[in-house]
Amino acid sequence: MTLIGHGSLMFEHGEKIIHVDPWTKVGDYASLPKADLVLITHHHSDHLDTVALEQIKKDNTITVMPPKCAEKIKNLYEASPILMTNGDKKTLYGFLIEAIPAYNLVHMRDNAVPFHPKGEGNGYIITFGDKRIYVAGDTENTGEMKALKNIDAAFIPMNLPYTMDSAMAADAVKAFKPKLVYPYHTTSNEEDQVPGFIELMKGFAEVTIRNMN
């Protein structure tokens, strides 16, 4: 597992490479391994970057995304991407991919529209052999997240106002009890939520911040 930066991840399993939300602002995708599988969580430009997709795709790359993303990439691929909506499950290159709802409950734009409305974005559970890895995407502590079971590792976002604060993240993690938690998509300024998350997890689980690169 490699954290490229922001919401961008790369997984290598066997001879297969999976990229999640590749973004050229945080990674040199021209020099990174080409993708067998790409998972896009939603249509915002820091998660759906057509330049990064062009740099990592090869002839047999499979790209998965929510339907709202399709218009932005209609001229990028000869073959259409696989569109997955909340609740869908597909097995691709031997990996079971499950689309988990990702949306805001509390944080809204000035016009009272959520930053991430329900139904537009996905988180994903990726099954690698007997390990289930959850990449939450841009979301808050939804009921669907808290109901997850048997998660071996979870990538949980903490940046305001777009996703969760430390209290929301701790609430979710205490509910679905992943074996490992990796805070990602976090801010790097005075509003960074990770220290607060670590404090809230005391007595429940030990949190270790690992270098994912």
Mean of the pLDDT values across residues 138-145?
A: 97
The mean per-residue pLDDT over the stretch 148-157 comes to: 95
Q: Which of 32-41, 141-150, 188-197 has the lowest mean pLDDT?
A: 188-197
Q: Residue 209 — very low, low, confident or very high, per pLDDT cuts 50/70/90?
A: confident
Please report the pLDDT score of residue 186 as a whole number: 86
Range 150-157 average pLDDT: 95
Q: Give the span between the Cα atoms of 176 and 50, in whole angstroms.
A: 34
Exposure string (b/e) for 125-136, b if CB count within 10 Å is 16 or more? bbbbeeebbbbb
Q: Which residue's entry shows tokens 């597909």?
A: 90
User: Which of 3.40.1190.20, 3.40.50.720, 3.60.15.10, 3.10.20.740 is the CATH number of 2-200?
Assistant: 3.60.15.10
pLDDT at 213 over 80: no
Beta-strand runs (E) in the chain: 2-5, 8-13, 16-20, 37-39, 62-65, 82-83, 89-92, 95-102, 121-128, 131-135, 153-158, 180-186
Token pair of 145 as six digits: 């997240």
Contacts of 88 (CB under 8 A, 6+ apart): 98, 99
Cβ-based neighbours of 141, under 8 Å, separated by 6 or more = 105, 164, 168, 169, 171, 172, 175
pLDDT category, 71, cuts 50, 70, 90? confident
Q: In what order do the strands lie in the sheet with 37-39?
A: 2-5, 8-13, 16-20, 37-39, 62-65, 82-83
